[in-house]
Amino acid sequence: MYLSGSNENISNAGYRRPIMKKAVCIILFSVLIISHSFAQEKKIYTFSIKANPFAYLASTLSYINFATTKNYPSYIGLYELEFQYALNDYLNISFNPRLESENSPRYLYNEYYSINHCLHLTPGLLFRPLKTRLRGWYLGAYIPIGWINMKEGMISKPPTVSDNFALLGIGIATGCQWINKKGGTFSLGVGGQKYWKFGFPNNTYTYTYTEPFTLKTFLTSLVERNIYWELPLALTMDFRFGYSF
217 and 103 share one domain:
yes
Whole-number Å distance between alpha carbons of 52 and 236: 13
26 and 117 share one domain:
no
175 and 112 share one domain:
yes
Whole-number Å distance between alpha carbons of 1 and 56: 41
124 and 222 share one domain:
yes
pLDDT exceeds 90 at position 231: no
3-state secondary structure of 134: coil
Q: Which domain holds residue 217?
A: 42-244
Length of the chain: 245
- CATH, residue 91: 2.40.160
82 and 32 share one domain:
no
DSSP 207: T
Whole-number Å distance between alpha carbons of 184 and 112: 46
85 and 188 share one domain:
yes
| The pTM of the whole model exceeds 0.85 | no
141 and 175 share one domain:
yes
Q: Using DSSP bridges, classify how beta strands 112-127 and 161-179 pair: parallel, antiparallel or unpaired.
A: unpaired
Number of Cβ atoms within 10 Å of the Cβ of 112? 19
pLDDT score recorded for residue 212 = 52
Kindly state the average pLDDT of the residues 73-77: 76
24 and 51 share one domain:
no
pLDDT score recorded for residue 101 = 86
In this prediction, residue 36 has a pLDDT band, given cuts at 50, 70 and 90, of low
pLDDT score recorded for residue 209 = 43
DSSP result, 95-125? EEEEEEEEEEEESGGG-EEEEEEEEEEEEEE
109 and 221 share one domain:
yes
56 and 6 share one domain:
no
Segment 152-204, tens digit of pLDDT? 877 777 777 888 989 899 999 999 999 998 899 999 999 988 888 888 877 77
3-state secondary structure of 166: strand
123 and 230 share one domain:
yes
Percent of the chain with pLDDT over 70: 67
